């Protein structure tokens, strides 16, 4: 399990490679489970179907979302993504995130 609370107090500096990785996120098989049917808060909910925590990337900062994507290389991670018109993933700190989060 990925615990984002541990990242809240750390100073995370993103590299260009980190941002490039984050902008190439694609979902091969989207999950059919609905966010509203899961228990939790606006950042993370528990999916009873797959027994994993699901993270809403639009409620995370870009740094938190990048770290989550990096962790997905070594462990199974679930996330709910919203794509902007330019194809990038929406995060809490992107200019238009407030309308969709």
Give the SS3 label for residue 3: coil
Query: Can you tell me the mean pLDDT for 59-78?
Result: 87
Kindly write down the DSSP assignment for every residue of 10-70, as one continuous string.
S-----HHHHHHHHT---SS-----GGGSEE-SSEEEETTTTEEEEEGGGS-HHHHHHHHH
How do residues 8-56 score in pLDDT, each as one tens digit? Answer: 444 556 677 777 776 777 777 788 899 999 999 999 999 999 899 999 9
pLDDT at 56: 94
**What was the pLDDT predicted at 39?**
95
pLDDT of residue 48: 92
pLDDT surpasses 60 at 73: yes
**Helices 16-23 & 62-71 angle (0-180, nearest 10):** 80
Tens-place pLDDT, residues 74-97: 888 888 888 888 777 888 987 654
């Amino acid at each position: 399990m990925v615990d984002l609370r541990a990242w809240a107090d750390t100073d995370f500096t993103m590299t260009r490679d980190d941002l490039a990785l984050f902008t190439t996120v694609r979902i091969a098989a989207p999950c059919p489970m609905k966010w509203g049917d899961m228990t939790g808060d606006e950042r993370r909910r528990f999916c009873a179907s797959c027994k994993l925590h699901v993270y809403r990337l639009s409620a995370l900062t870009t740094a938190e979302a990048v770290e989550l994507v990096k962790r997905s290389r070594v462990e199974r991670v679930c996330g709910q993504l919203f794509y902007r018109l330019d194809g990038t993933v929406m995060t809490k700190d992107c200019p238009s995130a407030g309308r969709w989060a």
